[in-house]
Amino acid sequence: MSQDQANSPHYNTINPFLLIKGGALAFIDFVVFVFDGIENKGVRTPDRDGSIIHAEIQVGDAMLLIADSKNDWPFTPAFLQVYVEDAQGTLNRALNHGATLITDVSPFYNKLKMARIKDPWGNLWWIYEKMDGSEEPSNASDLGWHHRDPSYIYSSLMEAMRNL
């Protein structure tokens, strides 16, 4: 990381690097549309074959690094957690932009709402929204659930992982 990057508030100690099968440019458009991402177009770097070897999208206070996955590279899905102001609105934008629903917006523990999607490139996104206090949080942090039937939040993730 260059000194300029190290001093930027949008580069963190760890920055996820996503290898996208089937179109990094379309993925960038998806993140910009769904999560209000901002591409740093000045660093977009084409590879010799015309694919993208490096791109960056700022989402909130985080930086996603993006590249096209080469044909002979294995599929490597990303698992991303993002906090938003409006989980249902974000979920709707994602679904309207080609994502697949994994988990509807549901009460979660620690006064959060949570939803999950699989984007058109096979990455899973956990979408979180802080509850406003008037809503009742779930007791999902209660480990007694291990002895009960699996919850929707749990079983929707298990099903998504089996089908990646």
Mind spelling out the 3-state secondary structure of 55-100?
Answer: EEEEECCEEEEEEECCCCCCCCCCEEEEECCCHHHHHHHHHHCCCE
Please state the separation of Cα 128 from the chain's center in Å: 10
Q: What is the pLDDT of residues 82-103, one digit of tens each?
A: 999 999 999 999 999 999 999 9
Maximum average pLDDT range among 11-25, 44-58, 148-162: 44-58
Residue 151 CB neighbours (<10 A): 13
**pLDDT at residue 60 tops 80:** yes
Q: What are the residue boundaries of the structural domains of the chain, listed by start?
A: 1-74, 77-164
For the stretch 65-86, what's the b/e string if a residue is b when 16 or more beta carbons lie within 10 angstroms of its beta carbon? Answer: bbbbbeeeeeeebbebebebee
The yes-or-no answer to whether 1-74 and 77-164 have a common fold is yes
CATH class of 1-74: alpha beta
Q: Does the predicted TM-score (pTM) go above 0.75? A: yes
| Mean pLDDT for all residues in the chain | 87
Residue 48 CB neighbours (<10 A): 6
State the Cα–Cα distance between residues 22 and 133, nearest whole angstrom.
41
**pLDDT at residue 137 tops 90:** no
CATH 3.30.720.110 correct for 77-164? yes
